[in-house]
Amino acid sequence: FAVLGCGTLAVLEQNEAGIVLLRSFDWNDGLFDVTWSENNEHVLITCSGDGSLQVWDTAKAKGPLQVYKEHTLEAYSVDWSQTRGEQLVVSGSWDQTAKLWDPAVGKSLCTFKGHEGVIYSTIWSPHIPGCFASASGDQTLRIWDVKAPGVKLVIPAHQAEILSCDWCKYDENLLVTGAVDCSLKGWDLRNIRQPVFVLLGHTYAIRRVKFSPFHATLLASCSYDFTVRFWDFSKPNPLLETVEHHTEFTCGLDLSLHNRGQV
């Protein structure tokens, strides 16, 4: 027996009536991650269980515009660079590779090898052009430079699979990781021997962590424990709030760039 599933990309809009469905697109496999274009408000890219990336245009009823099929296993992470002067996308896969893409080019520009486990998260630095981080089941956080072939830095961040990572928006040397060991850890790239902070409170694996775009020391995390938690790592008691609205695994979250209070 084979288990077949399909994925849906739902594009939502907030207006006076609340949050409404603007458009939806179907794909023939599960969709694991999504990233908006940084130069076209209608374009976004998803990645899926069949190892492919899909480029969609919300202004067009049908899609996708393009499909990139190079990963040999599930493509689990995709992120569009936010630094000026480059239009680059990075993807991470269960095939243990990260790939660099220019959406205007029909094939990948480069493949990054080095991880010895599934790559769960690939995130661009918001400060340093051509620099991204990857988090893996091999228990390491790695820093890469697209202009150099090998890994720039390997951080043995947890003694467990790392499912998520993010860059601080206010400090180019600071990243956070979230792992199956239920902990969040902050890392200063100038000294990786000890974490800058460790945040404990989740009771199951942490699936996604994001720094605030408005506060240098604020971050949010979500977990298989069904909760979303807000933290301020500068405070003696860093856990600010625990939100228990979900009744199932909480797999993703992000913080609005436009509305300070919206998650």
**Whole-angstrom distance, CA of residue 244 vs CA of residue 78:** 27
- pLDDT for the residue numbered 85: 78
Nearest CA-CA partner of 75 in 99, 109, 52, 44? 52
Strand partners, 132: 124, 144
pLDDT of residue 150: 81
Task: State pLDDT tens for residues 137-170.
Answer: 999 999 999 998 788 999 999 999 999 999 999 9
* Residues forming a β-bridge with 87: none
Residue closest to 133 by CA, chosen among 119, 148, 116? 119
Q: What are phi and psi of 11, to 5 degrees?
A: -105, 120
Report yes or no: 124 and 134 within 8 Å, Cβ to Cβ: no
Q: Which residues pair with 90 in a beta bridge?
A: 79, 100
Q: What mean pLDDT is predicted for residues 28-42? A: 93
User: What pTM does this model have?
Assistant: 0.94
Q: Peptide bond preceding 64: is omega within 30 degrees of 0, i.e. cis? A: yes
Q: Assess whether pLDDT exceeds 70 at residue 4.
A: no
Answer yes or no: is pLDDT of 80 > 90.
yes
Banded model confidence at residue 3, pLDDT cuts 50, 70, 90? low
Mean pLDDT for the stretch of residues 118-124: 98
Write down the pLDDT at residue 39: 87
| pLDDT at residue 61, as a whole number | 81
**pLDDT at site 172:** 96
Distance CA 92, CA 147 (A): 18
How far apart CA 96 and CA 180 sit, in angstroms, is 18
Structure-model confidence comparison of residues 12 and 5, the more confident one: 12
Which domains can be identified in the chain, with CATH numbers? 8-156 (2.130.10.10)
pLDDT at res. 83:
83
Helix or strand run (H / E) with residue 67: strand 66-69
The Cβ-side half-sphere exposure at 177, using a 13 Å CA radius, reads 31
pLDDT for 123: 97
Q: In what order do the strands lie in the sheet with 197-200?
A: 162-167, 174-179, 183-188, 197-200
pLDDT score recorded for residue 62 = 85
- End-to-end C-alpha distance for the chain, whole angstroms: 40
Residue 101 near residue 88, CB atoms below 8 Å: yes
Sequence-ordered list of residues with C-beta below 8 angstroms from that of 2, at least 6 positions apart, any chain:
none
Whether the Cβ atoms of residue 166 and residue 173 lie closer than 8 Å to each other:
no
**pLDDT of res. 179:** 98
pLDDT (average), residues 108-113: 96
Residue 84, pLDDT above cutoff 80? no
pLDDT tens for each residue of 50-72: 999 999 999 998 889 999 999 99
Mean pLDDT for all residues in the chain: 94
For residues 137 and 117, give the distance between their C-alpha atoms in angstroms, rounded to a whole number.
5
For residues 177-181, give the mean pLDDT: 98
3-state secondary structure of 243: strand
Region 97-109: mean pLDDT is 93
pLDDT above 80 (res 211): yes
Give the Cβ contact number of residue 240 at 10 Å: 13
